[in-house]
A and B are shown apart, each in its own frame.
Chain A
Amino acid sequence: MSTVPPALAAAQFAPPRRWPDISFRWLAFLAACTIVALIVLVGWELYHGAQLAVKKFGFSFLGSSIWDPVADKYGAWPFIYGTLMTSLIALLLAVPLGVGTALFLTEVAPLRLRQPVIMIVEMLAAVPSVIFGLWGIFVLIPWLRDNLFVWLKHGLGFLPLFQGPIYGVSVLAAGIIVAIMILPIITSVSREILRSVPNLQREAAYALGATHWEVIRIAVLSYARRGVFGAAVLGLGRALGETMAVTMVIGNRPEVSSSLFAPGYTLASVIANEFTEATTDVYLAALFELGLVLLAVTILVNVIAQLMLRTLAGGGTGKVN
């Protein structure tokens, strides 16, 4: 009977050395911390880059409509206005369509139809912004200019929104394109929310003799309304930051107009357009300050959306992106 010599046995069962474990864990921890570091980095760098403009213009920067590279005077208001208008239009179009589609997928559609529709929506999400912009310039804008805008002006021209000359490139066109781009996220997040509504709620409504739509209204939408609202806010966050497609169809004119047919400018698109042409340091700093405003608003909206989605009526989904 052979036994293993004691020394060898001890070596075989010696406890694993600590330092590879510790250093591995620290490596992983550092990697995870880059996330937080990146957020701090972004804020810091933008703030730094905007210093010249902040010092020169102060808070009036936000309300000023002057954008004059020649005189080196800058104001953020036209871009804030354009960003808000574009995003608002996008939300008004995308939220009903997105929630409607999500309801269709969870409540109405026969099982076999669901996967194909979901797949198509996900593929829509994968289309890059610049390709939407390309399509926007050569397909959407001409059609809008010759058809939809003309009908709108004809039928609703008593509203200041639909008055004024039609160029095609416009705040409304940008809003429509951004709506298309945020549809997938609103649809998929809403769908997750609606799926998490317990079946017991639906059965309670059915048992009272409710029709299918009434069940959806009472038991599903009411229960899920906070989550659906969070999905909408998430879509807003996405809409605020859209750059390429917007800059290709909005007309790039720093003006505030009551007409939806007028060209406009957004925070993201002015940065994209004029950054490499900023001739003076103040000009560049002004663009950085615009970026800072964009960053602040986007982070705020995203934080609100994430908070709403994480605290739902009956618990919620952990991953929301």
Chain B
Amino acid sequence: MQVMTEPSAPPSPNQPYTVNVAMPAAPALPPQAAAEVAFDIKNFSLWYSAHQALHDITIQIPSKRVTAIIGPSGCGKSTFLRALNRMHELSPGVRIAGDLRLYGEDLYSPQIDATLVRRRVGMVFQKSNPFPTMTIAENVLCGLRLNGVRDKQLLRERLEQSLRMSALWDEVKDHLYRPGTSLSGGQQQRLCIARAIAVRPEVLLLDEPCSALDPIATAKVEELIHELKRDYTIVIVTHNMQQAARVSDRTAFFYMGKLIEYAETRTIFMNPANPQTEAYVSGRFG
């Protein structure tokens, strides 16, 4: 098997930033139309020891779009999100079944190491978690450095690009060498987003990213999501239905570990097909 080493065009023709020659790049994917499928999931189930948390999920998540996952507490939405980048392997006793593919590749194939998956599928957590012993710059560039990128020029460029894309550049450009934790809550979360996108993943998973933020910071992050979807496939879990309505293109409603309904966001909120969905979005439960 031969490994592609020449630089390749990034997946989308809309990519405004060019990939530097030195950066280890993924092999070329055929140029895709905007409605391409990113995640193709069939009959996916997950068990925590004896308890089944996800039942037979079948869903196709589109590329370069924002997909929201909503549902009441305990419905499995975070569990599902973490399955998309194999974060469950950190907990003992987790078992999965079914087919989960990203751009055609089986994520759970035994030949694929989980660290490779997580390089391609980034995640931002509910509570911001910048590394406290690293500066802002070090936080953002952490992922790149792990992958062996040493070129100072590239690192500097990527640092600025990522912070600009997270709408944080202007606020921190004079303080890049302050610790990551010296920022406010909303800024820390945007820092985590910058850290996640600095490695240019294919997909960005957001697990209730605004739940610990005030409304102004939340608005900034939501604005960010609109910008980011030009270049990244985004899956966002949220318990805030208005937020889902504001930011997403498609929405999936989960309940008790099952996918109840999945459609265009407008349809889910205005005209849901399933009575359970209707009950949830109109606030009758959850």
Question: Do A and B have CB atoms closer than 8 angstroms in the complex?
Answer: yes
Enumerate chain A interface residues (CB-CB to B < 8 A): 111, 198, 200-211, 214, 218-219, 222-223, 225, 313-314
B87 within 8 A of A: yes
In contact, B133 and A225 (Cβ under 8 angstroms): yes
Please choose the segment from B117-125, B169-177, B232-240 that sits at the chain A interface, where 4 or more of its residues have CB less than 8 A away: B117-125
> Do A207 and B118 form a contact, CB below 8 Å, given A222-B133, A223-B133, A225-B133?
yes
Cβ 8 A contact of B131, one of A111, A207, A222:
A222
Chain A residues near B199 (CB-CB < 8 A) = 208-209
Number of A-B contacts (CB under 8 A): 70
- Cβ 8 A contact of B115, one of A111, A202, A210, A223: A210
**Is B90 a contact partner of A208 (Cβ separation < 8 A)?**
no
Is B41's CB within 8 Å of the partner chain A?
no
Q: Which of B101-138 contact A (CB under 8 A)?
A: 115-120, 122-123, 125, 127, 129-134
- CB contacts (< 8 Å) of B115 on chain A: these are 209-211
Q: Could you say which of B14-22, B61-69, B141-149 contacts chain A? A: B141-149
- The CA-CA distance from A225 to B132 in the complex, in Å, is 12
Q: How large is the interface on B (under 10, 10 to 19, 20 to 34, 35 or more residues)?
A: 20 to 34
21 A-B pairs whose Cβ atoms sit less than 8 Å apart in the complex: A200-B127, A203-B87, A203-B90, A203-B123, A203-B125, A204-B192, A204-B195, A207-B122, A207-B125, A208-B118, A208-B146, A208-B196, A208-B199, A209-B116, A209-B146, A209-B199, A211-B115, A223-B132, A225-B133, A313-B132, A313-B133
Expressed in whole angstroms, the Cα–Cα distance for A314 and B134 within the complex equals 15
Q: Is the CB of B132 within 8 A of A208?
A: no
CA of A220 to CA of B281 in the docked complex: distance in angstroms?
41
Question: B129–A203 contact, CB under 8 A?
Answer: yes
**Bound complex: CA of A267 vs CA of B229, how far in Å?**
69
* Distance of A198 Cα from B92 Cα, bound (Å): 18
Rounded to whole Å, the gap between the CB of B227 and the closest CB of chain A is 21
- Chain A residue nearest in CB terms to B90: A206
CA distance A218 to B119 in the complex (A): 16
Q: Which residue of A lies closest to B122 (CB)?
A: A207
Separation of A134 and B244 alpha carbons in the complex (Å):
72
B85 in contact (CB, < 8 A): yes
Most buried by B among A203, A211, A223: A203
Known: A202-B90, A209-B147, A209-B199. 14 other contacts (CB 8 A): A111-B92, A200-B129, A203-B87, A204-B125, A204-B130, A204-B192, A208-B118, A208-B119, A208-B142, A208-B146, A210-B115, A210-B118, A210-B143, A223-B132
In Å, the complex CA distance between A204 and B125 comes to 8
Q: Shortest distance in angstroms between B53's beta carbon and chain A's nearest beta carbon? A: 18
* Centre residue among B122, B130, B133 by max chain A CB count within 10 A: B133
Q: Considering residues B87, B132, B134, which has the most beta carbons from chain A within 10 angstroms of its beta carbon?
A: B132
Given A208-B195, A209-B143, A214-B146, are A201 and B131 also a contact pair (CB < 8 Å)? yes
In the assembled complex, how far is the CB of residue B197 from the closest CB belonging to chain A, in whole angstroms? 11
How far apart sit A223 and B143, CA to CA, in the bound complex (Å)?
A: 17
What string of 1s and 0s marks CB contacts (under 8 Å) between B250-275 and chain A?
A: 00000000000000000000000000
Q: How far is the CA of A184 from the CA of B130 in the complex (A)?
A: 33
Chain B residues near A204 (CB-CB < 8 A): 125, 129-131, 192, 195
Are A207 and B133 interface neighbours, CB within 8 A? no
- With A200-B125, A200-B127, A214-B146 already in contact, the answer to whether A206 and B132 are too (CB < 8 A) is no
Q: How many whole Å from B43's CB to the nearest CB in chain A?
A: 26
Q: Are B92 and A208 in contact, CB atoms less than 8 angstroms apart?
A: no
In the assembled complex, the Cα of A201 lies from the Cα of B195 at a distance in Å of: 13
**A214 CA to B147 CA, complexed, in Å:** 11
The one of B92, B119, B130, B131 that contacts A209, using a Cβ cutoff of 8 Å = B119
A208 vs B90: C-alpha distance when bound (angstroms): 14
**In whole angstroms, how far apart are the Cα atoms of A204 and B192 in the complex?**
9
Q: A111-B92, A204-B192, A207-B85 are in contact. Are A219 and B131 (CB under 8 A)?
A: yes
